Structures are given as structure tokens and as C-alpha cells.
Amino acid sequence: MSSPESHVPQLTSKPRFLSIVGAALLCHYVFRRWEPIKVVPVALLLVCLPGSLSPLLAGQYGTLGALVWTFLTFFTTLGTSILVYRLSPLHPLARYPGPTICKVSAIWMARITTTGKRHIYLQRLHDQYGDVVRIAPNEISIRDIDVVQPLFGPGGLPKGPGLTGRNLHEPVMPLIAIWDPTTHAQRRKPWIRAFSTAALKEYQPIVIKRTAQLLRRLHDQHGTTDLAQWISFFAFDFMSDMAFGGGTEMMREGDKDGLWALVKNGMSIAVTYEHLPWLSYYTKNFPTLIRSLSRLRREAHERTMQRYNRGSRAKDLFYYLSNEDQVEKESPSRPVVVSDGILAMIAGSDTTAVTIANIFYLLLIHGDKYNLLREEVDRYYPRGEDPLDPKDYINMHYLGAVINETMRLFPAIPCGGQRAPPRGTGGKMVGKYYVPEGTQVRAQLYSIQRDERNFSDPQTFWPERWLIADGLLPEPAGFVHNANALLAFSSGPANCVGKNLAMFEMRMVVTGIVHKFHLKFHEGWDRRLWLEDLKDVFVSRMGRLPVVVSPQLPLGVLGL
């Protein structure tokens, strides 16, 4: 029988073990320098390399024992090297503070995203560590308004790998995920035409039609109803009309196909890949692991292809995206149009729906603000006038202030977008912060917009701050207001191209509901549940908003 000593490395095998250790250190260098994720190079580095070294120990431990000792030594060395490097002063982000667990692995932030409270967690980290926090081995979050222009403005940083991970490494990325500025500018051209002043006039009748339908459906409700759900159904129906020329009737039929639930579940899965973009490269090959996300992409693909093959019936979004207006010399390829169809399906509904729902949540909590808005609505649209006639929206300053203040407190994309210096550039200064090559960075919008250096009493719902800033109300002593710190539509060349349509949509829906109905929370409902259910899944995901809807006038008088 062999003695226990025969199962431990002997002095004579030390050089062979050092070879294995050296190979593991080389492997770490390769991953750190080039970050390969494809199966072949990863398999060569993590399987073939240590496997090829096992014969060094075969004479002493036998074939099976050599494999065990080789892989054990290799991965122990690799793991130790990674751990020591990420915590050492040699790491490019060593100067930036943050929790040790974040410095060690991005898995921690990926786990935080599953709670839906990533924005709250990052705000706490900023309160604890300051304006710049290391939230992953190679990612930092910044709460400093001075980084917005160098990060998002002309000459800023391109998109980071997180959006590539969210989109499952598809060969053709949607507009929002394109990192190359030149390609992004080219792909953005039809979107700019689609949201021009002339195009917006084409969409106005669609907004009016769908808003009128929403008001009729709310009028039909008895007792308690979920206002958030109705607003979501409205937003999705409008998006279908505006982007695809029709296709859904959720306000009439409900979510009978589970499409809205699919959007919410799919987004919840995708957000994890922002912090582990390499993971989706592998999980996309296992449909059961990403069932909701795969079905969401499949549904969007099918709807886009139907619209693509049918051609235009009206000047909808795809009229421009597919170059049916014939402005460009060459029409985009089908994969390009399909990829942007997926973007339109999500971005065109989620962001406005959650903002409108948050508006009514805040108004119902702050009854005095609700009354002020109702007074303004009644002043411009007295009883008997049509609140869906947009002629006076531009003059309704308090309505604009309510919308801005809601977006400040609850940005639809709380944690903003990820950026990263391109490889080969060596890194870049972003404001006063150096972002090394291979590092991702995000401006944490939720924290910036709740920073007392940018807004007085930042945690308070105070629409009047926007009227004070515009000179419509007297300015109190010590008033702080930085309008540039409102980043709900992002900033720079890659900002939200649909901003004007979204604002028009929100103005019409809010004006219409306030004009036609009295709203109050369901009696006994715990208002804290709304905040608990509000999740950051890149775009905010909301829960139920149970309200009692009471028409102010009979249906015929309402003009519905």
C-alpha cells in the first residue's frame, strides 16, 4: 500500500509544478489582455493547456492522478493570481474605492441586478465611498455631473460591452448597442428622420386615437383598477401603431398572448448580462435558460418581419427605418431593420409607461400638487373642451414641471448606459477621472439627479423648482438647480431620439386623465408597495398601481 506521502508533490517534481504555475499565470495574462470569450480560445486556455501539461506528472502520479494534480494546480494558481491582481495596487482601478467583493468579481453586481434594486445599491455605495466607486473588477460608477459631457458628448466614449451581452452577441446589433461612433451615426439617420418635426405630426393622430381609447377604458372601470397596467397596455398599443403600423389591441383584449409579461420577464433576464456579458455568449445556446428572453426576441423578430414584408400603409417608424422614404441611396439590410425592430418594441413602450405611472403615483401622494395640476388643466381646457387637442400643451408650465420632476426622481433608465474606452487607445480622461483601457464606466443617473449639489432638497417631489428655474416663481435663498443634471433622455449624439414624441405622449395622457377623472388610491393599499415593486431591469419595471377612477362628467359630456 502506498503511503500518504506518495500523494503529495515531491521535491523532484517542483520544476514541473512550476511549469504548470507559469502556464496558469500566462493564461491569466492572456485573459486580462484580450478577454477572449469564444469557445475555441477559451477551451484551449482552460482545458487543452493544463491537459497538455499533465504528462509532466504522469510518471509520478499516474495518468488520472496527473490530471487531477495538474488541473488543481493550474486553477488554484489562476484563481489566486486573479484575486491578488484585482485587489493589488497594480490593478488600473486600484485608486478607486469600493467594496472588496465588487473588486473581486462582477458576479456580485450581477446578483444585485436580480433584486431589481441596483440603482438603490449604487446610490448607497456613492454615499459611502464618494463620487467614483469601483463596482466590479473592471467597472466604475460615477456620480459627478462634470463627467456627462466628456462621457456622452461629442468625442465621448463609445458603448461598453454590457449592451452586447444584453443582446446575446447578435451579429447585427440594434442602434442602442452600437459602439462605433461612425456606424452609430449612420444607423441613427433614419431614426432622426422618423422623429423629425414633420414625422411627429404624422404620429399625432395615432396618439390621440389611443389616448381616447385609454380614457374610454378607464371610464368603464368600476371599483379598483390597476392604472399601471392600463398605461402599459396603452403604451404598447401605441408603440405597435407607431412602429409597426398596428398589431396589438391590449386595451381591448388584454395581454391575451402574454406579450407584455414577456417584455418584463425578458428584460429582467437580459439585465444580468450587463455585468457578465460573456455569460450570454454561452447561455444563448441553452434555450431553457433564457426562455423569456428568447421568446421576446422571437416575437419582436416575427412582428418586424411581418411589417417588413407587408410594406407601409402609413408613415410609421418602419417607413423610415426600411428607407421606404427613399432618402438613402441604399436601403438597409433585413437584419439591420429587424434588429432595430426589437429596440422599437421595448424602448417605445416601457420608458413612457413607467414615467406616466410614476407621475400619477407622485400626484396621488402629494394632493396639493395634484390640485395645482388640475387647476392648470381646467384653465386651458374648461369643461366641454377637448383635452386631446394639443394646442395649449406648450403653455402648460406646471404640467411640464411635473413631468420633469418625475423623471428626475424616477428616471426610466436609473443606472444609465455603460461606456468604455476603445481597445488600443490606452484609456481616457473623463472629467477629472482616468478611465483605463478595458474599463467600463457609467454615470449613475439616479444618484446624479438626487444629488444636493445639483438640486435643492433633492429627495422631495417639488415641481415648483422647475418654475423657479424658468423665472416663473420667485427664487428662495440658497436655491440650487442644475437643469443639465436632468439626464432622463441621456445626452450627446447618442441621446434618446424619441424624446419629443415621448414628451408629447406624456403630456396628452396626463392632461386627458386629469381632465376627465378623479383618482384616488385603493383604500388600505400600502403606498410603499409601489416603491418596493419598482425594479431596475435597465428600463424600470413597475408593479401594480391600484386606484379608484371616478369620471368627473357623464360619458357623453366627456366627449368619449
- How far apart are alpha carbons 267 and 349 in whole angstroms? 13
| Cβ pair 245, 351 in contact under 8 A | no
C-alpha separations of 452 from 144, 366, 413, 485 in Å: 11, 21, 20, 11
Which residues are 547's β-sheet partners?
225, 521
Residue 162: per-residue pLDDT: 92
Any domain includes 259: yes
Q: Give 164-196 as a 3 state SS string.
A: HHHCCCCCCCCHHHCCCHHHHHHHHHHHHHHCC
Runs of H (alpha helix) within 130-258: 148-152, 162-166, 181-194, 197-219, 227-244, 250-253
Q: Which three cell numbers stand for residue 383?
A: 369643461
Q: In sequence order, what are the residues at sequence separation of 6 or more whose Cβ sits closer than 8 angstroms to the Cβ of residue 203? A: 242, 501
Runs of H (alpha helix) within 348-489: 350-365, 367-380, 397-409, 445-448, 464-469
- How far apart are alpha carbons 280 and 285 in whole angstroms? 9
Any domain includes 95: no
Domain that holds residue 51: 8-87
SS3 label, residue 402: helix
SS3 label, residue 2: coil
Q: In the chain, count of helices (H) and strands (E)?
A: 26, 11
Any domain includes 528: yes
- How far apart are alpha carbons 247 and 237 in whole angstroms? 8
Q: Residues 185, 81: one domain?
A: no
Runs of H (alpha helix) within 417-491: 445-448, 464-469
Q: Residues 410, 540: one domain?
A: yes
Q: Residues 181, 82: one domain?
A: no
The pTM score is 0.93
Q: Residues 247, 376: one domain?
A: yes
Residue 12: per-residue pLDDT: 55
* Count of all residues that appear for the chain in the document: 560
Q: Residues 78, 187: one domain?
A: no
Q: Residues 189, 61: one domain?
A: no
Q: Residues 68, 188: one domain?
A: no
Any domain includes 50: yes
- How far apart are alpha carbons 444 and 413 in whole angstroms? 10
Q: Indicate the residue among 27, 53, 87 that finishes a domain.
A: 87
Number of domains in the chain: 2
Any domain includes 156: no
| Cβ pair 311, 324 in contact under 8 A | yes
Residue 9: per-residue pLDDT: 52
pLDDT along the chain (560 residues), means of 10: 49 82 97 93 97 93 95 98 98 98 97 96 98 98 96 91 90 89 90 92 94 96 95 93 87 88 80 93 84 76 79 82 86 82 75 95 97 97 93 97 98 92 89 94 96 98 98 97 94 89 96 96 96 93 95 57
**Which residue type sits at 299?**
E
| Cβ pair 461, 365 in contact under 8 A | yes
| Cβ pair 164, 177 in contact under 8 A | yes
CATH number at residue 195: 1.10.630.10
Any domain includes 142: no
| Cβ pair 142, 132 in contact under 8 A | yes
Which residues are 548's β-sheet partners?
224, 520
Q: Residues 513, 398: one domain?
A: yes
Task: Work out the angle at residue 11's Cα, subtended by the Cα atoms of residues 8 and 14, and round it to the nearest 5 degrees.
Answer: 90
Which residues are 140's β-sheet partners?
134, 441
Any domain includes 231: yes
Q: Indicate the residue among 87, 108, 140 that finishes a domain.
A: 87
Residue 7: per-residue pLDDT: 53
What backbone torsions phi and psi does residue 349 show, to the nearest 5 degrees?
-125, -50
Q: In sequence order, what are the residues at sequence separation of 6 or more whose Cβ sits closer than 8 angstroms to the Cβ of residue 88? A: 94
| Cβ pair 178, 187 in contact under 8 A | yes
Look up residue 408 and give its DSSP letter.
H
- Nearest by Cα to 293 from 46, 537, 7: 537
Q: Indicate the residue among 52, 87, 122 that finishes a domain.
A: 87
Q: Which three cell numbers stand for residue 416?
A: 444609465
- Nearest by Cα to 494 from 178, 257, 131, 21: 178
Q: Which three cell numbers stand for residue 169?
A: 452577441
- CB atoms under 10 Å from CB of 296, counted, come to 23
| Cβ pair 402, 475 in contact under 8 A | no
Any domain includes 413: yes
Q: In sequence order, what are the residues at sequence separation of 6 or more whose Cβ sits closer than 8 angstroms to the Cβ of residue 457? A: none
Q: Which residue has 406648450 as its cell numbers? A: 394
Burial readout 132-154 (b: 16 or more C-beta within 10 A, e: otherwise): bbbbbbbbbbbbbbebbbbbbee
Residue 471: per-residue pLDDT: 97
Q: In sequence order, what are the residues at sequence separation of 6 or more whose Cβ sits closer than 8 angstroms to the Cβ of residue 258? A: none
Q: In sequence order, what are the residues at sequence separation of 6 or more whose Cβ sits closer than 8 angstroms to the Cβ of residue 381? A: 387, 389, 392, 511, 515
| Cβ pair 520, 548 in contact under 8 A | yes
Q: Residues 75, 201: one domain?
A: no
Residue 558: per-residue pLDDT: 43
